[in-house]
Amino acid sequence: MNTAELAETCAGAVSGGRLGRMLDELAQWGAREDGGVDRQTLTTQDLSARRWIAGLYATRAGYKVAIDAAANIFIRREGNDPALAPVLTGSHLDTQPAGGRLDGAFGVVAGLEVFNALDEAGIRTQRAMEVAAWTNEEGCRFSPGLMGSNAFVDPTQMDGLRSVLDAQGITFGAAVDSACQDFAESARSNGWHGFDAPMKRAIHACIEAHIEQGPELERAALQVGCVNAIQGVRWYEMTFSGRSSHAGTTPLAARDDAMVKAVAAAHAVLGMAALEMQADPSLRITVGRFQALPASINTIAREARFTIDLRHPDDKVLEAMQVRLLQLCAQASHTAVLLCKPPVPFDAALHQLTQEACTRLGLPHMSMLSGAFHDAMPLAAHTPTVMLFAPSRDGLSHNPAEHTPIEDLTACTRALAFCMTRLACPN
Ligand code: HGY
Ligand code: MN
Ligand code: MN
C-alpha cells in the first residue's frame, strides 16, 4: 500500500465506540454532579487521570511512556526507525473548575484512538508517534495557561513558572514534583516501559485535535475544522487599593473603598467592550474573575482586583485595546499582564494535508481560525503545527453542558489518523 492508502486504512479502523468509551472513563476523574468535570491541573483528580491513561499503554508491546520536567506526559508508539523525530499529537487533561468532558480530553483520547486503529490495522509506521498530555493548559489553578507546552518549547521558562502560587499557596514547582514522583512510583510498581523525553527535543510535526468551543462548525453544518491560525490573547489582572474599616461606623468622607474604584473601572471596561465588540465582531473582551479582600460583609474592602481576557486575530488591535484598558484602569494600584500571545499562523503544508484528509475521507469541512488558545500555540514555534476541530453543540464550552455528537468526534479522529499516518509513513 502507498502512504495515502495506509492513511485511509488507519482512518477506517478508527472506532467511535472505543473513542466514546475512553472519553466516558476519563470523565470519571473530577466528575461533577451536573455532568461536567472539575479536574484542575496536578490535583489528585488530574493525577488519577494521568495514571490511568499512561497505564493503558505503558506495558503494551511497542509502547513507552515518559514524563518531563514540567510533568508533561508522553505516550509513544515506536516506529521502524527510532532515529527519526516523532509525529506528535495530544492536548491537555486539565479542565476548568466547571468544565466539560471534551475540552482537552478529546485531543488526548483521539490520539490514543489513532494508536488503537494502527494496532488493529497492523500498521507499523516509519516514524514513532507520540500523544502528549500537556500540563496546565487552562491556567485556572496556576496562571497563566499553557505552562507545560510553553516550557517544553522554552525550558528556560521553568524556573519562573515553578514559583507561581495557587490560591492555597502551593507552588507550581511543588505540584510538578509531586506529579513526577507519582508517575515514577506508578512506573516502578507496574513495570511501565519508559523512555527519556527531554524538553525541546526534535519533533517532526504536531497535529492537535480539539473541540471548536465556538459556534462556527455547527452553524455551517460541517464535521471538521481545518485550523489555519490561532488568534492573539492577552490576560490582565487589575488591582485597586483602599483601606479596610468598619462598614457600620465609617462615614462616606472617611472611606477609601477599593470596591468602589474596582467596580467603576470594571463597569467602564465592560461598557467600552460592549461598544467595541458591537463594532468589531472579531473582538473578545471578558471580565472573568472579581475578588475583594478581606471579602467580609461588614468591612470596607482594602483591595479589589479583576481579570480581563482580551482576544483578536490582529496584534495591532490588541495593542490599541491594551492602551484603552490601561487608561480605563488608571486608578489601579497595580496592573499585571499575565499572558501576552500574538496571533499564531499554522504550517501551510500541514493545513493543506488536513484539507486533503477530509476530502479523501469525504468529511464535510472548512478552513477556520481558532478563537481559543491551545497547546498547539507554543508548539508552532518549535515544529510545523496544525489543528483539527470537531463541532461544539450550541458553540458551548467551559461549561458542564459541553457536548459533541460521537459521530463528529469520530470524523475528526479519522482526519487526525489520516494525517498522522501520512506524516509517519513518508514513503
Ligand atoms: O482560554 C482558552 O482559550 C483555552 O480554552 N484555555
Ligand atoms: Mn482546551
Ligand atoms: Mn479550555
pLDDT in tens, 193-227: 999 999 999 999 999 999 999 999 999 999 999 99
Rounded mean pLDDT, 120-128 = 97
> How confident is the model at residue 426, as a pLDDT?
81
160 alpha-carbon distance from chain centroid: 20
The answer to whether the beta carbons of residues 338 and 237 sit under 8 Å apart is yes
Closest to 368 in 3D by CA, of 412, 306, 328, 413: 412
Q: In the predicted model, what is the mean pLDDT of the chain?
A: 98
Residue among 137, 210, 286, 399 to mutate when testing ligand 1 (max atoms within 8 A of CB): 137
Question: Which residues' Cβ are closer than 6 Å to ligand 1?
Answer: 137-138, 145, 372-373
Cα gap 219→211, rounded to integer Å? 14
Whether the per-residue pLDDT at 427 is higher than 80: the answer is: no
> How confident is the model at residue 23, as a pLDDT?
98
CA of 258 to the centre of ligand 2 (A): 34
> How confident is the model at residue 1, as a pLDDT?
86
Q: What is the DSSP letter of 318?
A: H
CA of 356 to the centre of ligand 3 (A): 28
How many other CB atoms are there within 10 angstroms of residue 212's CB atom?
A: 25
Could you tell me the pTM of the whole model?
0.95
Which SS3 state, helix, strand or coil, does residue 319 take?
A: helix
pLDDT in tens, 183-192: 999 999 999 9
pLDDT in tens, 22-57: 999 999 999 999 999 999 999 999 999 999 999 999
pLDDT in tens, 164-181: 999 999 999 999 999 999
Whether the per-residue pLDDT at 88 is higher than 90: the answer is: yes
Residue nearest to atom 3 of ligand 1 (CA): 372
pLDDT in tens, 221-234: 999 999 999 999 99
Buried b (16+ CB within 10 A) or exposed e, 112-142: bbbbbbbbebebebebbbbbbbbbbbbbbbb
Cα gap 112→209, rounded to integer Å? 11
Please list all protein residues whose beta carbon sits less than 5 angstroms from ligand 3, which is an ion: 103
Please list all protein residues whose beta carbon sits less than 5 angstroms from ligand 2, which is an ion: 103-104
The answer to whether the beta carbons of residues 332 and 265 sit under 8 Å apart is yes
Closest to 12 in 3D by CA, of 120, 149, 152: 120
CA 373 to ligand 1: nearest atom: 3
CA 233 to ligand 1: nearest atom: 3
> How confident is the model at residue 209, as a pLDDT?
98
Which SS3 state, helix, strand or coil, does residue 265 take?
A: helix
Longest dimension (CA), the chain: 84
Residue nearest to atom 6 of ligand 1 (CA): 138
Whether the per-residue pLDDT at 21 is higher than 80: the answer is: yes
Cα gap 365→42, rounded to integer Å? 35
CA of 39 to the centre of ligand 1 (A): 15
CA of 231 to the centre of ligand 2 (A): 14
CA of 138 to the centre of ligand 1 (A): 6
> How confident is the model at residue 360, as a pLDDT?
98
Cell match 468529511: residue? 363
Cα gap 337→125, rounded to integer Å? 44
CA of 51 to the centre of ligand 3 (A): 21
Share of the chain above pLDDT 90, in %: 99
